[in-house]
Structure 1
């Protein structure tokens, strides 16, 4: 490990104020089904109308499609009314002439994502995102999924992003991943403002209680939870449900169905419990849910406002469906 991997002082900065329920835009990038630019704009506008003022996106979502649709939706919105985050670490390049055509979805751009962990790469990644978003800066930039590039984060990506923060191009910096172990090491050793943890602190799994969440609490690093439905399984635990972007394993499907039964016993939709659960931890400041229509926005806002009694969390623990040390969801 290089010297840059040793623990650095943590400077506590005010994080941009995030709505407790945020809008994730991976759905705008042809995740499972198409979303037109008009539909994406209607979804964003309805979210803002209902008080969702935090939007997260990334170049990798539909090879720029999600950022472009988000940017088009925001062209007539006062930037001061919302918080926008995107991700860095990859740039979009034209497919080589010898490569197979990209037919991931109709009209897919003939591009591919290329790792870009150097200072120039991080800067270009962010600059390209700003063009697609039509913004002159974003509030938060996350290093995106450096699972195979941990040393690059210490050596080049984090220092580059920290300089962008110092310059004011971004207000806060962090890392966004689908695991908790590596972000824990980053929080221990780097001056990060926030971590976006996707899918690893939900009603289905609470492993982040063993490493990332207590570390963030100690260091004063805030946490945003993505994937509160675990790719859909906790929204609708049916045979066709997804988990981590693939078919849900039988054991997890049965566990989600058992959670739904406990929720139903209290007259609470499973979506309400899933959205509210992560916010019970003192490090968690926002939960990002993917939404693709104004109707989904309305459903999630209603679920987020549903009263969830403490007895529901107690019953989940009693049935072994929630860790004993997991705090209850957001306060009523």
Structure 2
């Protein structure tokens, strides 16, 4: 596959490169992080033709947006040209200076030693303020796609809390986003989700243009297939986040391999081992199959792995460009490693 080839996101008219850049890595993790590594990753991705970038206020409490904005601003000034790119960010969380916070877990020390808190708000005022703040951090006049972020019981337990925020979105937040789309400030709206069932949940209650699906549809498991089929039927676009399932599909079943931000269990390592074994029989690296598989689905416009440095970015570009024979997908299906009706790349 060609990283720079483009696909339309649903019916939005927004064309994204098939390989995008997940901005979640452009932030200080628990371990030491060097900003120059992030810039090098962006350089490698740009040189490889990547022109779709996703970020969110929650990624580093605004740091990801700031770093991405500085980089893209430099690319479009100083004699470096003015190539088009596509930006998506998210709403639902406000990042603001902490005053008196009862829950210490809501606070974070930033690089400038200022302390900030995260406040959930899916109302009209909340989503408009969130987007305004994002546009300022990114240094742009508008973004292309806006996603309602993490409106689920993982982040907003118990169920009653999630429903209260959903009511805010229903009463005013969603209409505000639709107004912005009608004005041409944004070009598409949707949801960023991490759980099976949420795509259908939101399709039944709203009219989204796009979903960013991080988790329920990867080479490791295809539990979200029926929901992606619904998206295809409705003309709703899908972007796949976490195509490596947070690690194991990039590293294989090595010691310390991670599966959705925890150490992979024995069954998960065994499944990854079997996937890797079948891929190797066709001389295909596991990461190549992992990156390319989701794009076999007609609803999927792009995959957006998160990369921390130039080596990881180049590895993704190489894996995405690797030729994968159609016989590999047949073999994986015959081994029971793919859902029988999961569409695969031609």
Q: Under a length normalisation based on structure 2, what TM-score does the superposition of the two structures give?
A: 0.86
2:89 equivalent to 1:86: yes
Q: CA deviation at 1:250?
A: 2.0
Distance in 1, matches of 2:289 and 2:326, equals 11
What do residues 298-318 of structure 1 show as CA deviations (whole Å, max 9, x unaligned)?
Answer: 111110011111221112112
Distance in 1, matches of 2:31 and 2:282, equals 33
Q: 1:166 to 1:180 in 2, by over 3 A?
A: farther
Distance in 1, matches of 2:68 and 2:188, equals 20
Greater mean deviation of Cα atoms: 14-23 or 55-64: 14-23
Give the aligned partner of residue 39 of structure 1. Answer: 37
Q: CA deviation at 1:33?
A: 4.1
Q: Is the 8 A contact 1:54 1:84 kept in 2?
A: yes
For 2:315, which of 283, 289, 299 is the aligned residue? 299
Q: 1:277 to 1:74 in 2, by over 3 A?
A: same
Q: CA RMSD in A?
A: 2.0
Give the aligned partner of residue 126 of structure 2. Answer: 121
Q: 1:98 to 1:198 in 2, by over 3 A?
A: closer
Q: CA deviation at 1:104?
A: 6.9
Q: 1:109 to 1:178 in 2, by over 3 A?
A: farther
For 1:143, which of 128, 145, 148 is the aligned residue? 148
- Unpaired segments ≥5 residues, structure 2: 1-9, 77-81, 153-161
For 2:248, which of 229, 233, 244 is the aligned residue? 233
Distance in 2, matches of 1:45 and 1:137, equals 23
Q: CA deviation at 1:72?
A: 1.2
TM alignment of 1:228-307, pairs within 5 A:
228-236=243-251, 237-307=253-323
Distance in 1, matches of 2:129 and 2:69, equals 18
Q: CA deviation at 1:153?
A: 2.9
Q: Secondary structure at the match of 2:64?
A: helix
What do residues 199-231 of structure 1 show as CA deviations (whole Å, max 9, x unaligned)?
Answer: 111011101112x21211111101111100000
Distance in 2, matches of 1:242 and 1:273, equals 18
Give the aligned partner of residue 329 of structure 2. Answer: 313
Q: 1:272 to 1:286 in 2, by over 3 A?
A: same
Q: CA deviation at 1:96?
A: 3.1
Distance in 2, matches of 1:157 and 1:242, equals 36
Give the aligned partner of residue 96 of structure 1. Answer: 99
What do residues 139-167 of structure 1 show as CA deviations (whole Å, max 9, x unaligned)?
Answer: 11100011124333322321121111112
Q: Is the 8 A contact 2:91 2:130 kept in 1?
A: yes
For 2:59, which of 58, 61, 65 is the aligned residue? 61
Distance in 1, matches of 2:70 and 2:15, equals 23
Number of residue pairs the alignment of both structures matches: 318
Distance in 1, matches of 2:90 and 2:150, equals 9
Q: CA deviation at 1:98?
A: 5.5
Q: Is the 8 A contact 1:164 1:170 kept in 2?
A: yes
Greater mean deviation of Cα atoms: 253-262 or 149-158: 149-158
Distance in 1, matches of 2:139 and 2:101, equals 32
TM alignment of 1:152-171, pairs within 5 A:
152-171=168-187
